[in-house]
Amino acid sequence: METSYLKTKRMLTPLRKFAWIFTLLVGIGGLFYPKLGLLVIPVMLSLTLMAFFRGRYWCGNFCPHGSLFDALLPLSKNQKIPEFLKSKIFITAVFIFFAFNLSRKLISTFSTLGTASFWDRLGFVFVTTYLMVIVAGSVLSSFISSRTWCSFCPMGVIQTFSYKLGKLLGITPKTDVKVTLSGSEECLHCGKCARVCPMQLEPYLSFSHTNQFMDPACIKCAVCTVNCPAGVLQLAREKEALEQNQVLNTKSIQSV
C-alpha cells in the first residue's frame, strides 16, 4: 500500500522559517549586484564542515533553499518522490553535471583574475547556480513534494562524502545526532514518522539495534520527532542512545 504523505508544519525555528530570504537575496538580488554571489562560498564551506560532524544536519536546519522549499509546502501536491530521482545513478549524474559546469565557469572566471570585473564575475557564477536551484527546486516542490530537490542535491552529495570521512576517522559517533527511539516496545508502528518525513524516509521500519535511524539521507529536521503520536522519538547522540537502552534493559530485568 502506497504511503499517504501529510502536509505537517516543518519550519520549527525562526532561522528555518526565514532563511529563504537569503536564497532570494543571492539568486535574484545577485542579478543586479553580482558580488552577492560571493556569500555562497562560506555557505558551501560551512555545510561541508558541519557534515563532517553531523551528516546532512545543515539540510534540515540551516539550508536557505530547504527553507524556501518548506515554505512552498502549502502549494505542493505532496506526492511520492519518484524512485529514479533518488537512485544512485541519477544522483551521480546530477553531481557530475553540476561539478563539471561549475568547474568550467570557475576556470573561465579565474582567467580574468586581476581585472576589475573579476569579483563580479566570480560572484555571478554562484548567483546563476543559486537561481537555477530556486527555479528547478521550486517547480519540483510544487508539482511533486517540497523536498524533491534535496533527494539529489549536489550539496547533499558533498555532505555525504564529508560525513563518511568523519565516520572513517571515528569523529561522528561523538558528535552526530540521529532520530532515536526511546524503546522498541514503545513504537506504535503507525508509520506517521514516514508520512511527515520531508525526505520520505521510513524511520519506523529501519531502527538499528541501538534504536537509532541510520539512513545517511536523514536531514535531522526533527519533523518526525515532534509529530510522533507516542512521543518516543528524539534526536540523540550514539552515547545517549546506548545509555538509554541500558536503562531500559535494567528496568526490564527488574520487572521480571
Thinking of the domain 177-255, which architecture would CATH place it in? 2-Layer Sandwich (3.30)
Average pLDDT on 18-26 reads 95
Query: Hey, where are the domains in the chain?
Result: 14-166, 177-255
> Could you read off the pLDDT of 105-115 as tens digits, one per residue?
999 999 999 99
Q: What is the mean pLDDT of residues 189-195?
A: 92
Which residues are CB-contacts of 228 (< 8 A; sequence separation ≥ 6)?
192, 193
pLDDT at 25 over 90: yes
Q: How far is Cα 192 from Cα 148, in angstroms, rounded to an integer?
A: 19
Q: What is the mean pLDDT of residues 33-47?
A: 97
Q: Which of 36, 51, 218 has its CA nearest to residue 127? A: 36
Q: What is the pLDDT of residue 4?
A: 82
Q: Give the model confidence (pLDDT) of 213-236 as tens digits.
A: 999 999 999 999 999 999 999 999
Cell match 520527532: residue? 225
Q: What is the pTM of this model?
A: 0.91
Quick one: average pLDDT of 170-177?
92
